[in-house]
Amino acid sequence: MVKFLKPNKAVIVLQGRYAGRKAVIVKSFEEGSRDRPYGHCLVAGIKKYPSKVIRKDSAKKTAKKSRVKCFIKLVNYQHLMPTRYTLDVDLKDVVSVDALQTKDKKVAACKATKQRFEERFKTGKNRWFFTKLRF
Amino acid sequence: MVASKKTKKTHESINNRLALVMKSGKYTLGYKTVLKSLRSSKGKLIIIANNCPPLRKSEIEYYAMLCKVGVHHYNGNNVDLGTACGKYFRVCCLSIIDPGDSDIIKSMPGDH
């Protein structure tokens, strides 16, 4: 009886090209919209996880290994698996539905979320979110 | 002996309560709609049959945990649960949205 598909919830995408990837809900549309008459949400997820960094790595190598590639997508609730984890990264100003309209807006939004995700990864918090789900 | 008698009594009472919900309340039957009701936080109690596949059972329990909704493991398989609902088909899981006149929500939840 408690709503759990709220912004900042970590979810796993189940279908599509990004199946198996972890994502965070940025905005949820419970009642759907004109174009999508079903419950869906805007998620920002990880397309390519950062690799494992070891002590031996040089600074240049750690920088290269800590890169994160992101995606932004509108996903049906049915195609998500919610988890008990949350990720408070403020993406509301960066990621929005009109960022998905044109290619260059989308690229800019992805770049900005990439920044936010990378800095969060470097702090070492939310480690679960940045590890690949093995299946 | 005493234990089995107790479970038979409570089992009948669940059936009675379920029948009352079917008559007077709102419910949905089936996995897809159970998940839908949990996502929209409309479900108040979930009942799962005992021969539900374990992956599906865990998934429903996880959603219910996120939602803080009670799950009741029905003492019977999907055929029995369908009969208990008064339907002529098998029901593996069902979600009670509005109990109507029944007190199933108040008396069942502590169960797991």
Domains in chain A with CATH codes: 9-130 (2.30.30.770)
Taking CA atoms, A68 is separated from A2, A90, A108, B71, in Å, by 32, 17, 15, 39
Q: State the first-to-last Cα distance of chain A, in angstroms, to the nearest integer.
A: 31
A contact residues 34-53, partner B, Cβ 8 Å cutoff: 39
B contact residues 25-54, partner A, Cβ 8 Å cutoff: 35, 39-41, 43-44
| pLDDT tens readout for residues B28-56 | 999 999 999 999 999 999 999 999 999 99
Burial of A34 (0-12, 13-18, 19+ CB in 10 A): exposed
Question: Could you give the percent of chain A with pLDDT greater than 90?
Answer: 83
Domain covering B26-98 in this structure, CATH number: 3.30.1330.30
Structure tokens at B88: 């002529």
Q: Is B82 on the interface with A (CB under 8 A)?
A: no
Alpha carbons A7 and A44: distance in angstroms, whole number:
11
Taking CA atoms, A84 is separated from A18, A58, A96, B64, in Å, by 20, 35, 24, 11
Look up tokens 């839908």; give the residue. Answer: B36
> Is a pLDDT exceeding 80 seen at residue A1?
no
Look up tokens 């069902």; give the residue. Answer: B94
pTM: 0.90
> Is a pLDDT exceeding 90 seen at residue A103?
yes
Q: Do A39 and B66 lie within an 8 Å CB cutoff?
A: no
Q: What is the DSSP letter of A50?
A: P
Q: Do B66 and A2 lie within an 8 Å CB cutoff?
A: yes
Nearest to A3 among B35, B41, B44 (CB): B41
Q: Is A111 left (phi over 0), alpha (psi -120 to 50) or beta?
A: alpha
> Is a pLDDT exceeding 80 seen at residue B2?
no
Give this complex's ipTM: 0.90
> Is a pLDDT exceeding 60 seen at residue B6?
no
Residues of B in contact with A81 (CB under 8 A): 59
